[in-house]
Structure 1
């Protein structure tokens, strides 16, 4: 396995930050060369993640890059700056996402404007596709690559956020199913994690008993539990074409 150059989008969020820290820990499966931490607005969180990674392994190069993933120009810049600072990306965790703040408690059809739908898709789906398109050539040159999308159980059930969000996440599944078959024999794997009700995240900073009651295990998930699954998908080259629901047993998949 090549030394890892990892790009994590949305690294200032709970899951992105936890994954960056998890992948920086010593592993028998891989060696990390560099981690690029993308963020949109929360620079202070990125600074704390950088500090923790440095305390784990000072040899890992860390760069932080601001970009608005609703802008294709910013997505391209994020890639070029990462490659310039870190080298060819061979692990992409496309984690960043948005609900675009649709009005109404559950984003009903009548409350989701075309503008909200489009922005949600640009961040959640188009930026993931765009980054995949521009990192795959470098992965092919190394005959090694890992592409992991952060989806949602909403892609499997419809969820409660709204049609804009659920459809943007389910599109990632079709994309990885196509790509995993295309590149399976060339050392590239494509997978997704599909979390539900994870505490200490932007979507769910905290939850009460009503939310916990929805989950069979009786509690909310933790960002570190998503990170541990991403770690497995990075280190294991025999896992591909998978969408793993991480939801405390809520959805039977």
Structure 2
């Protein structure tokens, strides 16, 4: 029988945007299963170092690597650094993202393009970079961190909605192409989560409107990531983790 939780000893995981919030919780969760974890960051160097230190204190292996994953050259350098110091990437969690609250009257082309680059293009670039190795080994797990905004109105703005809806389309497209090669591709779609970006959610009293009556915890998203990493029969799916905000 397959294990109820993934056993990732001798596997290498990359978590983009892994220094804070959902990325931090996911990095630590993957390390707890035995994976060596590359913690990608762009600006949060100290936070990334703290995640690495926490993993190492627990007896795991980790590496903090700076890269702008919306830039192809940075992604190439990122993957090369991971392969040299940890090994080839077996598990990719495309978590890097941006969420600037802008309404339609003030949304600019620059902000629209930036949001799609960070939230969507980065997942494409990182997936393209690790897929050849996964295909040659005939094993891989790719998890894209989407959002409830991909299928609902959301609070951030239409630029964010579009980027996350595109990410779920990317998920299904890749899943259909590589399933027979031992690679699964899924998305996890958080609802309102209590992170350092949750200020507007709290100001809008979003928690009071959720059936569970609270915001989600980052560790609850990490649990969902582990679930799809550990299940070889789930692919092309979006797992909603939203406190009952919707039942789609």
Q: Do they fold alike, i.e. is TM over 0.5?
A: yes
State the Cα RMSD in Å. Answer: 1.8
Is this contact kept in 1: 2:69–2:75, CA < 8 A? yes
Match of 2:25 in 1: 18
Is this contact kept in 1: 2:55–2:61, CA < 8 A? no
Match of 2:3 in 1: none
Q: 1:70 to 1:181 in 2, by over 3 A?
A: closer
CA distance in 1, matches of 2:161, 2:40: 23
Note the residue ranges of structure 2 that are not aligned, 5 or more in a row.
1-6
Shift >6 Å, 4+ stretches? none
**1:142 maps to 2:145:** no
CA distance in 2, matches of 1:195, 1:122: 20
Q: Write out aligned runs for 1:69-218 (5 A).
A: 69-99=69-99, 101-102=100-101, 107-204=102-199, 207=202, 210-218=205-213
Is this contact kept in 1: 2:41–2:65, CA < 8 A? yes
Is this contact kept in 1: 2:70–2:125, CA < 8 A? no
Number of residue pairs aligned between Structure 1 and Structure 2: 241
TM-score scaled to structure 2, two decimals?
0.91
Match of 1:47 in 2: 49
Aligned residue for 2:156, secondary structure, equals coil
Q: 1:135 to 1:150 in 2, by over 3 A?
A: same
Is this contact kept in 2: 1:9–1:16, CA < 8 A? yes
Is this contact kept in 1: 2:208–2:214, CA < 8 A? yes
